[in-house]
Structure 1
Amino acid sequence: MPAAATPAGHPLAVPPSLAATAPAPAAAEDVPLFQALEWLDGAPESRDGYSREKFKHWNKGLDPTDGCDTRREVILSEAKLAPEVGARCALSGGRWFSEYDQVWVTSASSLDVDHMVPLAEAWDSGASAWTPARREAYANDQGAAASLIAVSGSSNRSKSDKDPADWLPTDAYRCEYASAWTATKLRWQLPADPAERDALTRLAEACPDTTVAYEQVPL
Protein backbone atom coordinates (compact mmCIF):
# COMPACT_ATOMS: atom_id res chain seq x y z
CA MET A 1 0.00 0.00 0.00
CA PRO A 2 1.29 3.52 -0.73
CA ALA A 3 1.02 4.63 2.88
CA ALA A 4 3.35 1.87 4.03
CA ALA A 5 6.13 3.45 2.00
CA THR A 6 5.42 6.96 3.28
CA PRO A 7 8.22 8.41 5.40
CA ALA A 8 7.51 8.77 9.12
CA GLY A 9 6.07 12.17 9.90
CA HIS A 10 4.47 12.60 6.46
CA PRO A 11 0.88 13.91 6.86
CA LEU A 12 -0.51 10.79 5.22
CA ALA A 13 1.62 8.29 7.13
CA VAL A 14 -0.52 5.40 8.41
CA PRO A 15 -0.35 4.83 12.16
CA PRO A 16 -0.18 1.13 13.08
CA SER A 17 -3.67 1.34 14.61
CA LEU A 18 -5.12 2.31 11.22
CA ALA A 19 -3.31 -0.29 9.14
CA ALA A 20 -5.40 -2.84 7.27
CA THR A 21 -5.90 -6.13 9.07
CA ALA A 22 -4.47 -7.95 6.04
CA PRO A 23 -2.65 -6.77 2.92
CA ALA A 24 -4.88 -6.38 -0.12
CA PRO A 25 -4.27 -8.93 -2.85
CA ALA A 26 -3.38 -7.59 -6.28
CA ALA A 27 -6.77 -8.71 -7.61
CA ALA A 28 -9.96 -10.16 -6.25
CA GLU A 29 -13.44 -11.03 -7.49
CA ASP A 30 -16.75 -11.56 -5.72
CA VAL A 31 -15.25 -10.75 -2.33
CA PRO A 32 -17.81 -9.85 0.37
CA LEU A 33 -17.84 -6.12 1.01
CA PHE A 34 -17.00 -6.65 4.69
CA GLN A 35 -13.85 -8.57 3.76
CA ALA A 36 -12.78 -6.01 1.16
CA LEU A 37 -13.07 -3.24 3.74
CA GLU A 38 -10.56 -5.08 5.91
CA TRP A 39 -8.01 -4.56 3.14
CA LEU A 40 -8.35 -0.77 3.17
CA ASP A 41 -5.63 1.02 5.09
CA GLY A 42 -6.74 3.94 7.21
CA ALA A 43 -5.14 7.35 6.97
CA PRO A 44 -5.81 10.99 7.73
CA GLU A 45 -6.38 13.20 4.71
CA SER A 46 -4.74 16.37 3.44
CA ARG A 47 -5.89 18.62 0.58
CA ASP A 48 -2.79 20.78 0.64
CA GLY A 49 -1.78 21.79 -2.89
CA TYR A 50 -4.81 20.29 -4.66
CA SER A 51 -6.20 21.49 -7.97
CA ARG A 52 -8.16 19.62 -10.63
CA GLU A 53 -5.56 20.64 -13.20
CA LYS A 54 -3.12 18.24 -11.57
CA PHE A 55 -5.24 15.37 -12.96
CA LYS A 56 -5.13 15.67 -16.76
CA HIS A 57 -8.61 14.93 -18.06
CA TRP A 58 -10.21 14.25 -20.34
CA ASN A 59 -7.58 12.68 -22.62
CA LYS A 60 -8.02 11.03 -26.01
CA GLY A 61 -9.50 7.88 -24.53
CA LEU A 62 -9.03 4.26 -25.50
CA ASP A 63 -9.06 4.97 -29.24
CA PRO A 64 -7.11 8.15 -30.06
CA THR A 65 -8.35 7.98 -33.67
CA ASP A 66 -12.12 8.03 -33.06
CA GLY A 67 -12.37 11.71 -32.12
CA CYS A 68 -13.99 10.85 -28.77
CA ASP A 69 -12.33 11.80 -25.51
CA THR A 70 -12.63 9.67 -22.37
CA ARG A 71 -15.80 11.47 -21.28
CA ARG A 72 -17.64 10.74 -24.52
CA GLU A 73 -16.35 7.16 -24.65
CA VAL A 74 -17.82 6.52 -21.19
CA ILE A 75 -21.12 8.12 -22.20
CA LEU A 76 -21.26 5.93 -25.31
CA SER A 77 -20.41 2.77 -23.38
CA GLU A 78 -23.17 3.39 -20.82
CA ALA A 79 -25.95 4.33 -23.22
CA LYS A 80 -29.12 2.24 -22.87
CA LEU A 81 -30.11 3.48 -26.33
CA ALA A 82 -27.07 4.40 -28.40
CA PRO A 83 -26.89 7.99 -29.66
CA GLU A 84 -25.87 9.01 -33.15
CA VAL A 85 -22.20 9.96 -33.36
CA GLY A 86 -21.36 12.86 -35.63
CA ALA A 87 -18.22 14.74 -36.58
CA ARG A 88 -15.77 15.23 -33.70
CA CYS A 89 -17.81 12.79 -31.63
CA ALA A 90 -20.85 15.07 -31.41
CA LEU A 91 -23.64 12.98 -29.81
CA SER A 92 -27.33 13.32 -30.58
CA GLY A 93 -30.27 11.29 -29.34
CA GLY A 94 -29.72 8.34 -27.06
CA ARG A 95 -30.96 7.37 -23.62
CA TRP A 96 -29.17 6.83 -20.30
CA PHE A 97 -30.10 5.85 -16.76
CA SER A 98 -28.50 7.94 -14.02
CA GLU A 99 -27.89 5.55 -11.14
CA TYR A 100 -27.23 8.18 -8.48
CA ASP A 101 -30.75 9.62 -8.65
CA GLN A 102 -32.53 6.87 -10.61
CA VAL A 103 -33.68 9.09 -13.47
CA TRP A 104 -33.63 8.70 -17.24
CA VAL A 105 -31.58 11.17 -19.27
CA THR A 106 -32.18 11.74 -22.97
CA SER A 107 -29.46 14.26 -23.79
CA ALA A 108 -25.74 13.57 -23.60
CA SER A 109 -25.17 17.24 -22.75
CA SER A 110 -27.15 16.74 -19.52
CA LEU A 111 -24.74 14.04 -18.35
CA ASP A 112 -21.60 14.31 -16.29
CA VAL A 113 -18.99 11.58 -16.18
CA ASP A 114 -18.18 11.24 -12.50
CA HIS A 115 -15.06 9.84 -10.92
CA MET A 116 -16.43 7.30 -8.46
CA VAL A 117 -13.75 8.39 -5.99
CA PRO A 118 -13.50 12.12 -6.77
CA LEU A 119 -10.22 13.62 -7.87
CA ALA A 120 -10.02 15.72 -4.69
CA GLU A 121 -10.67 12.66 -2.52
CA ALA A 122 -7.97 10.73 -4.37
CA TRP A 123 -5.57 13.62 -3.78
CA ASP A 124 -6.49 13.76 -0.09
CA SER A 125 -5.88 10.02 0.19
CA GLY A 126 -2.42 9.95 -1.33
CA ALA A 127 -2.57 10.86 -5.02
CA SER A 128 -0.70 14.04 -4.08
CA ALA A 129 2.41 11.85 -4.04
CA TRP A 130 1.75 10.28 -7.45
CA THR A 131 3.46 11.16 -10.69
CA PRO A 132 1.50 13.28 -13.19
CA ALA A 133 1.25 10.21 -15.44
CA ARG A 134 -0.39 8.13 -12.71
CA ARG A 135 -2.83 10.94 -11.92
CA GLU A 136 -3.75 11.16 -15.61
CA ALA A 137 -4.28 7.39 -15.72
CA TYR A 138 -6.53 7.64 -12.68
CA ALA A 139 -8.57 10.52 -14.10
CA ASN A 140 -9.22 8.63 -17.34
CA ASP A 141 -9.48 5.08 -16.01
CA GLN A 142 -11.63 2.93 -18.29
CA GLY A 143 -9.90 -0.25 -17.18
CA ALA A 144 -12.54 -0.94 -14.52
CA ALA A 145 -16.26 -0.42 -14.81
CA ALA A 146 -16.43 1.06 -11.30
CA SER A 147 -14.01 3.93 -11.91
CA LEU A 148 -16.12 6.27 -14.06
CA ILE A 149 -19.90 6.57 -14.32
CA ALA A 150 -22.23 8.70 -16.44
CA VAL A 151 -24.84 10.39 -14.25
CA SER A 152 -27.12 13.40 -14.34
CA GLY A 153 -25.35 16.70 -13.92
CA SER A 154 -27.50 17.60 -10.93
CA SER A 155 -26.64 14.42 -9.02
CA ASN A 156 -22.96 14.86 -9.76
CA ARG A 157 -23.07 18.43 -8.45
CA SER A 158 -24.82 17.17 -5.33
CA LYS A 159 -22.07 14.63 -4.72
CA SER A 160 -19.24 17.03 -5.63
CA ASP A 161 -16.03 15.83 -3.92
CA LYS A 162 -17.73 14.19 -0.93
CA ASP A 163 -16.96 10.69 0.34
CA PRO A 164 -19.62 8.23 1.66
CA ALA A 165 -19.51 9.84 5.13
CA ASP A 166 -20.97 13.02 3.63
CA TRP A 167 -22.97 11.94 0.57
CA LEU A 168 -24.76 8.85 -0.71
CA PRO A 169 -26.89 8.20 -3.79
CA THR A 170 -30.52 7.19 -3.64
CA ASP A 171 -31.23 4.03 -1.62
CA ALA A 172 -31.62 1.82 -4.69
CA TYR A 173 -27.96 2.30 -5.67
CA ARG A 174 -26.26 2.45 -2.27
CA CYS A 175 -25.03 -1.14 -2.13
CA GLU A 176 -23.54 -0.92 -5.63
CA TYR A 177 -22.08 2.46 -4.73
CA ALA A 178 -20.31 1.08 -1.66
CA SER A 179 -18.92 -1.75 -3.77
CA ALA A 180 -17.73 0.56 -6.55
CA TRP A 181 -16.17 3.03 -4.10
CA THR A 182 -14.30 0.28 -2.24
CA ALA A 183 -13.19 -1.36 -5.48
CA THR A 184 -11.79 1.93 -6.77
CA LYS A 185 -9.89 2.61 -3.56
CA LEU A 186 -8.39 -0.89 -3.64
CA ARG A 187 -7.65 -0.72 -7.37
CA TRP A 188 -5.57 2.43 -6.88
CA GLN A 189 -4.23 1.48 -3.42
CA LEU A 190 -5.78 4.48 -1.70
CA PRO A 191 -6.55 4.45 2.05
CA ALA A 192 -9.72 5.65 3.78
CA ASP A 193 -10.13 8.07 6.66
CA PRO A 194 -11.99 6.95 9.82
CA ALA A 195 -15.33 8.62 9.00
CA GLU A 196 -15.26 7.14 5.50
CA ARG A 197 -14.51 3.66 6.85
CA ASP A 198 -17.35 3.97 9.37
CA ALA A 199 -19.78 4.95 6.63
CA LEU A 200 -18.68 2.06 4.42
CA THR A 201 -19.01 -0.35 7.34
CA ARG A 202 -22.59 0.78 7.93
CA LEU A 203 -23.30 0.23 4.24
CA ALA A 204 -21.77 -3.26 4.44
CA GLU A 205 -24.11 -4.05 7.32
CA ALA A 206 -27.07 -2.92 5.23
CA CYS A 207 -25.80 -4.76 2.12
CA PRO A 208 -24.85 -8.27 3.32
CA ASP A 209 -24.89 -9.78 -0.17
CA THR A 210 -22.78 -7.09 -1.83
CA THR A 211 -19.43 -8.15 -3.27
CA VAL A 212 -16.36 -6.33 -4.59
CA ALA A 213 -14.14 -7.02 -7.58
CA TYR A 214 -11.00 -5.12 -8.54
CA GLU A 215 -7.54 -5.38 -10.06
CA GLN A 216 -4.77 -3.15 -8.73
CA VAL A 217 -2.99 -0.69 -10.99
CA PRO A 218 0.69 -1.28 -10.14
CA LEU A 219 2.57 1.54 -8.47
Structure 2
Amino acid sequence: MFRSRARLRRRWVVLTSAALTTVALSVTLTTPASATPPNIPSKATAQAELNTLTVAAEGSMTGYSRDLFPHWITISGTCNTRETVLKRDGTNVTVGSNCAPTSGSWYSPYDGATWSDPADVDIDHVVPLAEAWRSGANSWTTSKRQSFANDLNYPQLIAVTDNVNQAKGDQDPTTWQPPLSAYRCTYSKMWIRSKYHWGLKLQASEKSALQSMLNTCSS
Protein backbone atom coordinates (compact mmCIF):
# COMPACT_ATOMS: atom_id res chain seq x y z
CA MET A 1 0.00 0.00 0.00
CA PHE A 2 1.41 3.38 -1.00
CA ARG A 3 0.55 6.61 0.73
CA SER A 4 0.80 10.14 -0.64
CA ARG A 5 1.74 13.00 1.63
CA ALA A 6 -0.60 15.94 1.01
CA ARG A 7 0.73 19.40 1.66
CA LEU A 8 -1.61 21.87 3.36
CA ARG A 9 -1.11 25.53 2.73
CA ARG A 10 -2.38 28.06 5.26
CA ARG A 11 -2.89 31.78 5.07
CA TRP A 12 -3.96 34.39 7.61
CA VAL A 13 -7.24 36.11 6.89
CA VAL A 14 -7.76 39.43 8.65
CA LEU A 15 -11.32 40.05 9.75
CA THR A 16 -11.36 43.85 9.77
CA SER A 17 -14.87 44.20 11.15
CA ALA A 18 -13.98 42.37 14.34
CA ALA A 19 -10.25 43.14 14.34
CA LEU A 20 -9.64 39.42 14.69
CA THR A 21 -7.29 37.09 12.90
CA THR A 22 -8.11 33.50 12.09
CA VAL A 23 -6.51 30.72 10.12
CA ALA A 24 -8.24 29.41 7.04
CA LEU A 25 -7.34 26.75 4.53
CA SER A 26 -6.54 28.18 1.12
CA VAL A 27 -8.29 26.17 -1.58
CA THR A 28 -8.01 26.69 -5.29
CA LEU A 29 -10.97 25.33 -7.23
CA THR A 30 -9.86 24.27 -10.67
CA THR A 31 -10.87 21.65 -13.17
CA PRO A 32 -8.07 19.05 -13.17
CA ALA A 33 -6.31 18.45 -16.47
CA SER A 34 -4.40 15.21 -16.68
CA ALA A 35 -0.77 15.45 -17.66
CA THR A 36 -0.41 13.78 -21.03
CA PRO A 37 3.15 12.96 -22.07
CA PRO A 38 3.39 12.05 -25.76
CA ASN A 39 3.54 8.62 -27.37
CA ILE A 40 2.08 6.51 -24.56
CA PRO A 41 1.54 3.11 -26.23
CA SER A 42 -1.58 0.97 -26.20
CA LYS A 43 -1.67 -2.08 -23.95
CA ALA A 44 -0.96 -4.38 -26.89
CA THR A 45 1.99 -2.32 -28.09
CA ALA A 46 3.40 -1.99 -24.57
CA GLN A 47 3.12 -5.76 -24.14
CA ALA A 48 5.01 -6.35 -27.38
CA GLU A 49 7.71 -3.89 -26.32
CA LEU A 50 8.00 -5.41 -22.84
CA ASN A 51 8.46 -8.84 -24.40
CA THR A 52 11.48 -7.62 -26.39
CA LEU A 53 13.32 -5.83 -23.57
CA THR A 54 16.54 -7.48 -22.43
CA VAL A 55 16.37 -8.91 -18.91
CA ALA A 56 19.64 -8.64 -17.00
CA ALA A 57 21.01 -8.10 -13.52
CA GLU A 58 20.99 -4.47 -12.47
CA GLY A 59 24.25 -2.62 -12.99
CA SER A 60 26.17 -0.72 -10.34
CA MET A 61 26.11 2.96 -9.44
CA THR A 62 29.87 3.25 -9.87
CA GLY A 63 30.72 6.55 -11.55
CA TYR A 64 27.16 7.87 -11.46
CA SER A 65 26.43 11.58 -11.17
CA ARG A 66 23.34 13.57 -12.15
CA ASP A 67 25.74 15.98 -13.83
CA LEU A 68 26.36 13.27 -16.43
CA PHE A 69 22.72 13.76 -17.51
CA PRO A 70 22.58 17.51 -18.29
CA HIS A 71 18.94 18.45 -17.81
CA TRP A 72 16.60 21.41 -17.96
CA ILE A 73 18.33 22.67 -21.08
CA THR A 74 16.96 25.53 -23.18
CA ILE A 75 14.19 24.27 -25.46
CA SER A 76 12.86 27.44 -27.09
CA GLY A 77 13.55 31.11 -26.43
CA THR A 78 13.94 31.48 -22.67
CA CYS A 79 12.04 28.26 -21.88
CA ASN A 80 13.92 25.29 -20.47
CA THR A 81 12.71 21.70 -20.29
CA ARG A 82 11.04 22.06 -16.88
CA GLU A 83 9.14 25.16 -17.94
CA THR A 84 8.09 23.51 -21.19
CA VAL A 85 6.62 20.52 -19.33
CA LEU A 86 4.89 22.81 -16.81
CA LYS A 87 3.16 24.59 -19.70
CA ARG A 88 2.30 21.31 -21.42
CA ASP A 89 0.89 19.56 -18.36
CA GLY A 90 -0.80 22.53 -16.68
CA THR A 91 -4.15 24.26 -17.12
CA ASN A 92 -4.48 27.99 -17.88
CA VAL A 93 -0.74 28.47 -17.43
CA THR A 94 0.62 31.98 -17.87
CA VAL A 95 4.33 32.74 -17.86
CA GLY A 96 6.56 35.75 -17.41
CA SER A 97 9.20 37.05 -19.79
CA ASN A 98 11.65 34.49 -18.39
CA CYS A 99 9.13 31.68 -19.13
CA ALA A 100 8.63 30.90 -15.43
CA PRO A 101 4.92 30.23 -14.69
CA THR A 102 3.13 33.07 -12.90
CA SER A 103 -0.24 31.33 -12.63
CA GLY A 104 -2.01 28.12 -13.54
CA SER A 105 -2.95 24.78 -12.03
CA TRP A 106 -1.33 21.37 -12.21
CA TYR A 107 -3.04 18.02 -11.68
CA SER A 108 -0.69 15.27 -10.52
CA PRO A 109 -1.88 11.90 -11.88
CA TYR A 110 0.40 10.02 -9.50
CA ASP A 111 -1.67 11.00 -6.45
CA GLY A 112 -4.70 12.95 -7.72
CA ALA A 113 -3.66 16.27 -6.16
CA THR A 114 -4.07 19.65 -7.87
CA TRP A 115 -1.65 22.52 -7.22
CA SER A 116 -1.74 26.23 -8.04
CA ASP A 117 1.87 26.94 -7.08
CA PRO A 118 4.50 25.56 -9.50
CA ALA A 119 6.88 25.26 -6.55
CA ASP A 120 4.72 22.33 -5.41
CA VAL A 121 5.32 20.52 -8.70
CA ASP A 122 8.33 18.47 -9.78
CA ILE A 123 9.07 17.19 -13.26
CA ASP A 124 9.53 13.46 -12.83
CA HIS A 125 11.85 11.43 -15.01
CA VAL A 126 9.57 8.40 -15.40
CA VAL A 127 12.63 6.18 -15.71
CA PRO A 128 14.90 7.88 -13.15
CA LEU A 129 18.35 8.99 -14.23
CA ALA A 130 20.07 6.65 -11.76
CA GLU A 131 17.86 3.77 -12.90
CA ALA A 132 18.83 4.49 -16.50
CA TRP A 133 22.50 4.50 -15.48
CA ARG A 134 22.12 1.05 -13.90
CA SER A 135 20.22 -0.17 -16.97
CA GLY A 136 22.78 0.72 -19.63
CA ALA A 137 23.09 4.52 -19.80
CA ASN A 138 26.47 4.29 -18.06
CA SER A 139 27.92 3.40 -21.46
CA TRP A 140 26.24 6.28 -23.33
CA THR A 141 27.83 9.52 -24.42
CA THR A 142 26.99 12.63 -22.40
CA SER A 143 25.12 13.93 -25.44
CA LYS A 144 22.83 10.89 -25.48
CA ARG A 145 22.26 11.12 -21.73
CA GLN A 146 21.29 14.78 -22.20
CA SER A 147 18.75 13.81 -24.85
CA PHE A 148 17.30 11.19 -22.49
CA ALA A 149 17.10 13.61 -19.55
CA ASN A 150 15.22 16.18 -21.64
CA ASP A 151 13.08 13.82 -23.73
CA LEU A 152 9.89 15.63 -24.78
CA ASN A 153 9.06 13.22 -27.60
CA TYR A 154 8.35 10.13 -25.51
CA PRO A 155 6.61 9.63 -22.13
CA GLN A 156 9.70 10.22 -20.01
CA LEU A 157 8.81 13.54 -18.34
CA ILE A 158 5.67 14.41 -16.38
CA ALA A 159 4.59 17.10 -13.89
CA VAL A 160 3.67 15.60 -10.50
CA THR A 161 3.44 16.49 -6.80
CA ASP A 162 6.94 17.27 -5.57
CA ASN A 163 7.01 15.13 -2.43
CA VAL A 164 5.53 12.15 -4.29
CA ASN A 165 8.33 12.43 -6.82
CA GLN A 166 10.86 12.71 -4.01
CA ALA A 167 9.42 9.61 -2.33
CA LYS A 168 9.86 7.72 -5.60
CA GLY A 169 13.52 8.68 -5.87
CA ASP A 170 15.33 6.30 -8.23
CA GLN A 171 13.14 3.26 -7.54
CA ASP A 172 11.78 1.02 -10.28
CA PRO A 173 8.22 -0.43 -10.26
CA THR A 174 9.36 -3.38 -8.14
CA THR A 175 9.46 -1.12 -5.08
CA TRP A 176 7.52 2.01 -6.11
CA GLN A 177 4.30 2.57 -8.04
CA PRO A 178 2.03 5.65 -8.17
CA PRO A 179 -0.07 5.97 -4.99
CA LEU A 180 -3.17 6.41 -7.18
CA SER A 181 -3.69 2.80 -8.24
CA ALA A 182 -5.86 3.78 -11.22
CA TYR A 183 -2.80 5.38 -12.83
CA ARG A 184 -0.52 2.35 -12.56
CA CYS A 185 -1.62 1.02 -15.94
CA THR A 186 -0.58 4.25 -17.67
CA TYR A 187 2.61 4.44 -15.62
CA SER A 188 3.65 0.96 -16.70
CA LYS A 189 3.05 1.81 -20.36
CA MET A 190 5.13 4.98 -20.05
CA TRP A 191 7.97 3.13 -18.30
CA ILE A 192 7.99 0.35 -20.89
CA ARG A 193 7.93 2.78 -23.83
CA SER A 194 10.81 4.83 -22.42
CA LYS A 195 12.99 1.79 -21.75
CA TYR A 196 12.12 0.35 -25.16
CA HIS A 197 12.82 3.57 -27.06
CA TRP A 198 16.12 4.14 -25.30
CA GLY A 199 17.24 0.51 -25.43
CA LEU A 200 17.57 0.09 -21.67
CA LYS A 201 17.62 -3.26 -19.88
CA LEU A 202 15.40 -4.33 -17.00
CA GLN A 203 15.57 -6.77 -14.10
CA ALA A 204 13.41 -9.88 -13.86
CA SER A 205 11.59 -8.49 -10.81
CA GLU A 206 11.01 -5.19 -12.61
CA LYS A 207 9.55 -7.01 -15.62
CA SER A 208 7.24 -9.00 -13.35
CA ALA A 209 5.99 -5.82 -11.64
CA LEU A 210 5.42 -4.13 -14.99
CA GLN A 211 3.51 -7.15 -16.28
CA SER A 212 1.22 -7.09 -13.24
CA MET A 213 0.56 -3.38 -13.76
CA LEU A 214 0.00 -3.83 -17.49
CA ASN A 215 -2.51 -6.60 -16.79
CA THR A 216 -4.78 -3.99 -15.16
CA CYS A 217 -5.07 -2.05 -18.43
CA SER A 218 -8.21 -2.34 -20.50
CA SER A 219 -6.54 -0.99 -23.62
TM-score, normalised to structure 2, is: 0.77
Q: Does residue 65 of structure 2 align to residue 51 of structure 1?
A: yes
What stretches of structure 1 of length at least 5 have no aligned partner?
A: 1-26, 211-219
SS in structure 1 at match of 2:183: helix
SS in structure 2 at match of 1:41: coil
Q: Percent identity over the alignment?
A: 38
Aligned residues: 178
Which aligned segments of 4 or more residues in structure 1 are displaced greater than 2 angstroms? 27-31, 33-36, 204-207
SS in structure 1 at match of 2:79: coil
Which residue matches 1:149?
158
Q: CA deviation at 1:206?
A: 2.6
SS in structure 1 at match of 2:74: coil
Equivalent in 165, 170, 178 of residue 188 of structure 2: 178
Identify, as 1 or 2, the structure richer in strand.
2
Equivalent in 38, 41, 53 of residue 51 of structure 2: 38
Equivalent in 134, 139, 144 of residue 134 of structure 1: 144
CA–CA separation in structure 1 for the residues paired with 2:174 and 2:92: 34
Q: CA deviation at 1:29?
A: 5.4
Which residue matches 1:162?
171
CA–CA separation in structure 2 for the residues paired with 1:28 and 1:99: 14
Which residue matches 1:22?
none
Q: Is the radius of gyration larger for structure 1 or structure 2? A: 2
TM-score, normalised to structure 1, is: 0.77
Equivalent in 92, 97, 111 of residue 81 of structure 1: 92
CA–CA separation in structure 2 for the residues paired with 1:31 and 1:154: 29
> Which aligned pairs between 1:1-219 and structure 2 lie closer than 5 A?
30=42, 32=44, 33-46=46-59, 47-61=61-75, 63=76, 65=77, 67-82=78-93, 84-144=94-154, 146-169=155-178, 170-207=180-217, 209-210=218-219
CA RMSD, Structure 1 to Structure 2 (Å) = 1.7
Q: CA deviation at 1:89?
A: 1.5
